[in-house]
Structure 1
Amino acid sequence: MRRPQLTGRAAILAVVVCAIVMSLAYPVREYIAQRRQIAELEEQQAKALEDLRRLEERNRMLTDPAYVRRQARARLHYCGVGEKCYVVRDTTRDADRPAAAAATPAAKDPWYQALWESVEAADKGTGRRADQSGRSE
């Protein structure tokens, strides 16, 4: 007589093992998701701390009067009290300016003047009318 391959005890054991695996699947998945979220938050925190460090350094520099003076001279071309400042003009660029000015077209009228002229023309009936399709007559 042959014994069955799957006994009652083995079947119950298989069901219990499956139940344990199924009951652990969700918590393990949540644990992995939370670990991933923690890693992302730690990365964001490191980035925020780096930004904070950089901004504190910038604030320290901007509170230093010598740095502010240097930046005013370099960026805004300011002169200190009692200093003589000179402006050096580039004569080669100045020679090109009249030709460039002649090449530019005359300034257009402001938009409100063009609008007012079109209103006056419509009032007098001298303006061109458009038909239904949007083409001028």
Structure 2
Amino acid sequence: MSGRTAVVALVLSALALSYAYPVRTYLEQRAEINALRDSQSDQADRIAALEAERAKWNDPEYVKAQARDRLLLVEPGEGLIIIIDDPEGAAADAGETPDAEPADPWYDDLWDDFEESE
């Protein structure tokens, strides 16, 4: 290798090393900008959904429906019926007796099988 080739190779490697860090920084910043744009669009979608929800609350019928569902409020003169899901009470009303002893949990069955195999 001649001296001139060695100098050119040394200059090219110095240039490559000097440009490597700025190029890496540029690529990282582009990735961060893209992530922030995605985050911004997600936030814009969430803001739009919240604005739509807020617009619903300006409707008196929607407010009445929410009061009925969430607070169990009724109009004057209406009756309120609350149905409680109680399987034991339903069995007693049907004349059946509920199981006195619940079944063992799955891990007790597994442990019993393990002890039997020994």
Give the TM interval when normalised to the shorter protein: 0.5 to 0.7
Q: 1:86 to 1:19 in 2, by over 3 A?
A: closer
TM-superposed CA distance for 1:89, in Å, is 6.5
Can you list the C-alpha shifts for 1:37-75, whole angstroms capped at 9, x where unaligned?
Answer: 111111210111111011101101112111001111122
TM-superposed CA distance for 1:25, in Å, is 0.3
Of the three residues 51, 61, 67, the one matched with 1:72 is 67
RMSD over aligned CA atoms reads 2.6
Can you list the C-alpha shifts for 1:17-39, whole angstroms capped at 9, x where unaligned?
Answer: 11110111011110111011111
**Runs of at least 5 residues in structure 1 that lack an aligned partner in the other structure:** 1-5, 97-137
Return the alpha-carbon distance in structure 1 between the equivalents of residues 2 and 54 of structure 2: 77
**Runs of at least 5 residues in structure 2 that lack an aligned partner in the other structure:** 93-118
The two structures have a TM-score, normalised by structure 1, of 0.57
Return the alpha-carbon distance in structure 2 between the equivalents of residues 15 and 58 of structure 1: 65
Aligned to 2:79: 85
Larger-gyration structure (1/2)? 1
1:66 aligned counterpart, secondary structure: helix
**Amino acid corresponding to residue 68 of structure 1 in structure 2:** V
Return the alpha-carbon distance in structure 2 between the equivalents of residues 87 and 18 of structure 1: 84
Matched ranges for 1:1-137 at <5 A: 6-81=1-76, 83-87=77-81, 93=89
2:28 aligned counterpart, secondary structure: helix
The two structures have a TM-score, normalised by structure 2, of 0.65
Higher relative contact order (CA 8 A, sep 6+): 2
Question: What is the number of residues matched between the two proteins?
Answer: 91
